[in-house]
Amino acid sequence: MKTNKKYKLLFYVISIFLVIYSLLPILLVFFYSLIPNSYISQNKVVFSLRNYVEILQTMNIEVYFFNSVIVSLFSAFINTLLSFLAAYALTRLNIPFKNLINNILLFFNVVLILGVFIIVPIFDIIVKLKLFNSLTGLILVYTSLGLPFSILLFSKFINELPKEYEEAALLDGFSRFNIIFKIVLPLVTSAFISIFILQFIGYWNEFVFALTLTNSELKRTLAVGVTLVSTSSNFEIPWGSIMAASFIALIPLMILVYNFEKLIIKSASPK
């Protein structure tokens, strides 16, 4: 009994430490966002909402926020839907060169992790399509770059599903379309939402393509906008304003993860 109590106590201590360790960066960002820039440089602690007021008045932070929401939502949804359909085809249908396609997806999944190396040809394609400096161009790029990862992840989940449900539905006269959306999709709902959230977070934080493929204030995303805050002063680094903008960018992600935490954990072990 004493040994069990010691293990429980150790478990609680480690858990508390990990929680504090995880929350500390967010708490520090919020803490410094409440201290005006002039006081940070003087190592004084005076709490105020001045940083938030300044970035709302001097920066197009609401425009950046709206652009990030539109680009991230549409990119994540289109990516998740297309990858679900592609994964179903690769795992359930008799299509030619299936193994070759899977190997190509694996290859591109590795290559696209270092997406910065393909930014020049992507830039050239977007310019030729006349989608430069547009949210549509960003959505197209984000959706495409995330497909290999999402397809491979969905394939794992669909492979875990028993085929008997689909075979029975085919015997009952169900079309392939109905089987996909009325039988398979409900069984992988947790995976669908989890992949959507993972992609949304990735798109929300993406910086390099958002900076390269846009050049106007009205098309910038929040990730780019936060970096522009750091260049708003010629004499000092406005740490307070940077932290305020960063905390604003964190709010949607915290809400997403908090509300869908159980689904994300559940999707880690498909049945």
According to the model, what pLDDT value does residue 66 have?
94
Each as own residue / partner, the long-range contacts of residues 169-173 (CB below 8 Å, 24 or more positions apart, any chain) are none
According to the model, what pLDDT value does residue 115 have?
66
The two tokens of residue 156 are: 């794992």
What is the rounded distance in angstroms from the CA atom of residue 265 to the CA atom of residue 139?
28
Whole-prediction pTM value?
Answer: 0.86
User: What angle in degrees, to the nearest 10, is found between the helix axes of 98-113 and 61-92?
Assistant: 150
According to the model, what pLDDT value does residue 74 have?
97
According to the model, what pLDDT value does residue 210 have?
94
According to the model, what pLDDT value does residue 270 have?
46
Contacts of 138 (CB under 8 A, 6+ apart): 71, 75, 209, 210, 213, 214, 221
Whole-number Cα distances in Å, 261 to 146, 168, 198, 253: 22, 34, 12, 11
According to the model, what pLDDT value does residue 233 have?
63
According to the model, what pLDDT value does residue 3 have?
62
According to the model, what pLDDT value does residue 212 have?
93
Residue 42: other Cβ atoms inside 10 A: 10
Q: What is the DSSP letter of 217?
A: G
Tens place of pLDDT per residue across the chain (271 aa) = 556 777 778 888 888 888 888 889 889 999 988 888 878 777 778 888 888 988 888 888 889 999 999 999 999 999 999 999 999 999 988 888 878 887 888 777 776 666 667 888 999 999 999 999 999 999 999 999 889 989 988 998 898 888 888 888 888 888 888 988 988 999 888 889 889 999 999 999 999 999 999 998 889 999 998 888 776 666 677 888 889 888 998 988 888 888 877 666 665 554 4
Q: Are 60 and 218 in contact (CB under 8 A)?
A: yes
- Distance linking the first and last C-alpha atoms of the chain: 35
